[in-house]
């Protein structure tokens, strides 16, 4: 028996996608997760400043709607490959911030048992095959995961997150071409935050829109406002449906902005304070989403305050868990290089 | 148990191993450039596409980096890909995925995944293909923890080690010398494996140990045979695996013979000969040495096109005979 679509009243048809697609509970949860990403990043940054985390990290503050919008239509067993700026993707795919902090603190309770750190954060059980330190390194791997899905008929869809810098790597070209000729269930998500480290897309990329490159691979190329959750989720939903139907890949360009520098060594000399301020003040993804939620009566100021409080507590608990967790034994240095024979 | 043994070529032995692996396990499939109807640049896949179809004998575009990455991604998510690089030289194009991804993914993720991918590399000189289609790059990959790197020298081992590689949970890189593809040898029917990481003593002797890899095993055996006529008793070890490396067999042999000659086709400097020499120098076998260790490797030059120059680039039987004779006679 065919399922009848839910009746939509005339005023609802004018609502943005997310407000037609998701329940108020789901939408409030999206807001909570966007806060969780931002506060996680801030907590990681603070822990770094305090010397609790070493190395470096790449923060995704400002890109929360992009991570959440793309992951919202996914099933738990769908898979993603992520980037060096991958903390948000990891949380959006369902990771526990406790184990993420533990990983950043280099502890055995971390997702990678302290071997990967920020740049290789993963959560295989939730379908996150890992962030990648090599720009575009994860794109062919996502295509391989999609090939497994097709061959083993698991129905899984694979998301390959990458940045604007990756679209100039050879791996991007090779992987998108193969995904298209084999009609694989993979979605290429370019989070274009305007800069590959210090080099702007205008200086590095011959096309105005990275999505324009989709034409070269005979796949749809979609541009979305990466700071608008609903717009991102709508594009992701369409691409997921296309992938699940066996119609092949889609390239989504999610135009967004990172507030922080590329990494901890960045002096921010390639962009103006005014530019950064403008994005923070006028286009903040959390602020925009919050405003919409209030407008549609899904949450009020008190509700938002409760979300912020519960996120604050979860972050504090996560950092405490990481602090208290045991460090790896030095004698275990050689573990996980090869599969241990039982 | 089927123990019938026939003569097969090295290429046929590999093909048989791949067919057996695909018959036994639906997850096993082949990827590479022109491995389908063309049969592979060296006819190693041959007509397998007719038996297994294009889904399991997949032609890829000319995309070594992307192709290697797709194989890695498929391996991590439950498949068992066997990826053929058309020439081992093209490993340079796939190096990112081999070295940064395949080798490290299990480690970086704290053991949460394994990467059971097999990559095959037709390698070596002697075909007149000049500098970009004749290299021996196995030591490059042998330098990378997380990879296993093997060089079967006989049809028997080519089949058994490939089947061991497919069963292995970690990435295994197989270097196959192109001049061996047509070499025939006894190959048992049915499934068997030859363990990765175990050298084989091809000829026993008391006067000198020759440690050789790949095609050099056969040249070393020929040299040993010639020197037997002069009363010299030479041991020849086929290393077979360079990561992991079989220390015990090599050290045990040198303790017995007190002399070591390493023979390999790759460029001599910073190669497998250096590793084997250092292994002996660092071991208890050092005290047994009666002469300096000698290495015979490729010249410090790209592989040239001219056939005489090409031959002169890599060790030949007379070079091995001369070096071995000098060592045994104490001239060195």
Residue spans of the domains in chain A: they are: 24-324
Q: Is the pLDDT of residue B1 over 60?
A: no
Catalytic residue among B16, B33, B84, B133: B133
**What are A192's strand-pairing partners?**
A255
Distance from CA of A98 to the nearest CA of B (A): 16
For the stretch B29-54, pLDDT in tens is 999 999 999 999 999 999 999 999 99
DSSP B168: -
Residue B125 CB neighbours (<10 A): 25
The DSSP line for A107-129 is -TTSTTTTSS-GGG--BGGGTB-
Q: Are B132 and B179 in contact (CB under 8 A)?
A: no
pLDDT at A10: 54
pLDDT at A264: 81
pLDDT at A291: 97
- Subunit contact B79:A148, Cβ cutoff 8 A: yes
Q: If pLDDT is split at 50, 70 and 90, which confidence band does A9 have?
A: low
Catalytic residue among B16, B64, B200, B310: B64
Q: Are A74 and A159 in contact (CB under 8 A)?
A: yes
Q: Does B29 touch chain A (CB under 8 A)?
A: yes
Residues 6 or more apart whose CB falls under 8 angstroms from that of B318 comprise none
- Subunit contact A129:B76, Cβ cutoff 8 A: yes
pLDDT at A285: 98
Sign of the CA dihedral with B304 first, then B305, B308, and B314 last: positive
Classify residue B86 as exposed, middle or buried by CB count within 10 Å of its CB (0-12, 13-18, 19+). Answer: buried
CATH number of the A24-324 domain: 3.40.50.970
Q: A86, A338, A340: which to substitute to probe chain B, counting the most B Cβ within 10 Å?
A: A338
Which residue in this structure is represented by tokens 């403008």?
Answer: A278
Q: For each of the domains in chain B, give its residue range(s) and CATH number, in order of start.
A: 8-188 (3.40.50.970), 200-329 (3.40.50.920)
Distance CA A86, CA A191 (A): 11
Distance CA B63, CA A181 (A): 13
* Cα–Cα separations (whole angstroms), residue B322 to A307, B3, B227, B236: 81, 40, 9, 15
For the stretch B273-284, pLDDT in tens is 999 999 999 999
What is the biggest distance separating any 2 CA atoms in chain A, rounded to whole angstroms?
67
Closest to A184 (Cα-Cα) out of B66, B114, B65, B80: B66
Q: If pLDDT is split at 50, 70 and 90, which confidence band does B239 have?
A: very high
Q: If pLDDT is split at 50, 70 and 90, which confidence band does A14 have?
A: confident
Distance CA A210, CA A219 (A): 13
B64 is catalytic: yes
**Chain A CB contacts of B145 below 8 Å:** 337
**Chain A CB contacts of B169 below 8 Å:** 339
pLDDT at A277: 96
For the stretch B14-27, pLDDT in tens is 999 999 999 999 99
For the stretch A268-296, pLDDT in tens is 899 999 999 999 999 999 999 999 999 99
Residue B162 CB neighbours (<10 A): 28
**Chain B CB contacts of A339 below 8 Å:** 106, 111, 114, 169-170
Q: Is the pLDDT of residue B331 over 90?
A: no
For the stretch A225-277, pLDDT in tens is 999 999 999 999 999 999 999 999 999 999 999 999 998 888 889 999 999 99
**Chain B CB contacts of A338 below 8 Å:** 106, 146, 148, 170
Q: If pLDDT is split at 50, 70 and 90, which confidence band does A5 have?
A: very low
For the stretch B249-266, pLDDT in tens is 999 999 999 999 999 999
């Amino acid at each position: 028996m065919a399922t009848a679509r839910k009746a939509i009243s005339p005023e609802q048809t004018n609502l943005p996608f997310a407000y037609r697609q998701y329940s108020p509970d789901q939408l409030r949860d999206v807001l909570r997760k966007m806060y969780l990403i931002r506060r996680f990043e801030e907590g990681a940054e603070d822990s770094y400043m305090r010397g609790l985390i070493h190395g470096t990290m790449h923060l995704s503050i400002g890109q929360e709607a992009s991570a959440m919008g793309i992951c919202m239509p996914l099933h738990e067993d769908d898979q993603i490959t992520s980037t060096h700026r991958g903390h948000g993707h990891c949380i959006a795919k369902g990771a526990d911030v406790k184990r993420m902090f533990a990983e950043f603190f280099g502890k055995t309770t971390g997702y990678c048992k302290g071997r990967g750190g920020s740049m290789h954060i993963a959560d295989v059980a939730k379908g996150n095959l890992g962030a990648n330190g090599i720009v575009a390194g994860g794109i062919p791997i996502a295509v391989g995961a999609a090939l497994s899905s097709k061959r083993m008929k698991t129905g899984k869809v694979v998301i390959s997150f990458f940045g604007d810098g990756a679209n100039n790597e050879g791996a991007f070209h090779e992987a998108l071409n193969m995904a298209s000729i084999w009609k694989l269930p993979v979605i290429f998500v370019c989070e274009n935050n305007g800069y590959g480290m210090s080099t702007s897309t205008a200086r590095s990329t011959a096309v105005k829109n990275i999505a324009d490159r989709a034409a070269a691979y005979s796949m749809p190329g979609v541009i979305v406002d990466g700071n608008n959750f609903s717009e991102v989720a709508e594009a992701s939903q369409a691409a997921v449906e296309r992938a699940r139907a066996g119609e092949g890949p889609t390239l989504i360009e999610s135009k967004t902005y990172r507030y922080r520098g590329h990494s901890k060594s960045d002096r921010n000399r390639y962009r103006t304070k005014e530019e950064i301020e403008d994005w923070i003040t006028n286009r903040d993804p959390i602020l925009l989403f919050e405003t919409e939620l209030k407008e549609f009566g899904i949450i009020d100021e008190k509700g938002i305050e409760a979300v912020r409080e519960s996120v604050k507590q979860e972050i504090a608990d996560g950092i405490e868990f990481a602090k208290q967790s045991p460090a790896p034994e030095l004698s275990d240095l050689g573990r996980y290089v090869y599969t241990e024979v039982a | 148990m089927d123990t019938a043994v026939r003569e097969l070529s090295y290429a046929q032995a590999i093909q048989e191993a791949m067919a057996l692996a695909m018959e036994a396990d639906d997850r096993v499939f082949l990827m590479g450039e022109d491995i389908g109807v063309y049969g592979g640049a060296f006819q190693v896949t041959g007509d397998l596409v007719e038996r297994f179809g294009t889904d399991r004998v997949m032609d890829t575009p000319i995309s070594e980096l992307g192709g290697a990455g797709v194989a890695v991604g498929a391996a991590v998510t439950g498949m068992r890909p066997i990826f053929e690089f058309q020439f081992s030289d093209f490993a340079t194009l796939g190096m990112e995925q081999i070295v940064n991804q395949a080798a490290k993914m299990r480690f970086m993720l704290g053991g949460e995944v394994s990467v059971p991918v097999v990559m095959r590399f037709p390698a070596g000189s002697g075909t007149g293909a000049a500098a970009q289609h004749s290299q021996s790059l196995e030591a490059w990959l042998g330098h990378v923890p997380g990879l296993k790197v093997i060089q079967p020298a006989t049809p028997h081992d080519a089949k058994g080690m490939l089947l061991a590689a497919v069963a292995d949970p970690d990435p295994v890189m197989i270097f196959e010398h192109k001049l061996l593809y047509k070499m025939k040898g006894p190959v048992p029917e049915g499934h068997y494996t030859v363990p990765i990481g175990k050298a084989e003593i091809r000829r026993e002797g008391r006067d000198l140990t020759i440690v050789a890899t790949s095609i050099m095993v056969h040249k070393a055996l020929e040299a040993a045979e010639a020197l037997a006529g002069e009363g010299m008793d030479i041991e020849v070890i086929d290393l077979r695996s360079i990561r992991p490396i079989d220390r015990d067999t090599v050290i045990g042999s040198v303790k017995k013979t007190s002399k070591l000659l390493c023979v390999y086709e790759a460029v001599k400097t910073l190669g497998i000969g250096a590793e084997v020499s250092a292994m002996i120098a660092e071991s208890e076998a050092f005290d047994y040495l009666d002469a300096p260790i000698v290495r015979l490797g490729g010249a410090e030059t790209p592989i040239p096109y001219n056939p005489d120059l090409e031959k002169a680039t890599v060790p030949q039987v007379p070079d091995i005979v001369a070096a071995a004779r000098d060592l045994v006679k104490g001239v060195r």
